[in-house]
Amino acid sequence: MVRNDRLLSTALIVFGVTFCLVYPLAVVWPSGWAWHTGSPASSNYFMMIVGVYATLGVFLIRAAWKPFDNRSLIWFTVWSSVVHAVVMALQALSQDMHHGHLAGDVPALLLVALVLAVLMKRSDRDHAPDRT
């Protein structure tokens, strides 16, 4: 396995596990991860997000075994993380009570997108057919 693929696999596992832990993160740091007051389970919306991210997390962990075969899932994670972070940042900036997200889930999603995008570019380059 190429070094870049090992790094990509590691990142997929780390981010996959983190996505599976969105609920506990909201319990520990609600102002950075939950968009409502009260316990995380008190919001139907938040529990749907937890379900979606936990599912994505499991699939990212599975993708770690063969990242090149799961490029579309990884690129979906990159771009959906960027879109999600931008929407959340705009909402957090417009509502004082949600400024904590600018130090929590917004930069976390941008980090996921940046790391996976860089590692995917390197992996794609490593797997490109030799044109010489």
**pLDDT tens column, 64-93:** 999 999 999 999 999 999 999 999 899 889
CA 47 from chain centre, in angstroms, equals 17
Domain boundaries, the chain: 3-31+40-124
At 84 the pLDDT is: 94
At 12 the pLDDT is: 98
At 107 the pLDDT is: 92
Tell me: the pLDDT tens digits for 8-58?
A: 999 999 999 999 999 998 888 877 777 777 788 888 888 999 999 999 999
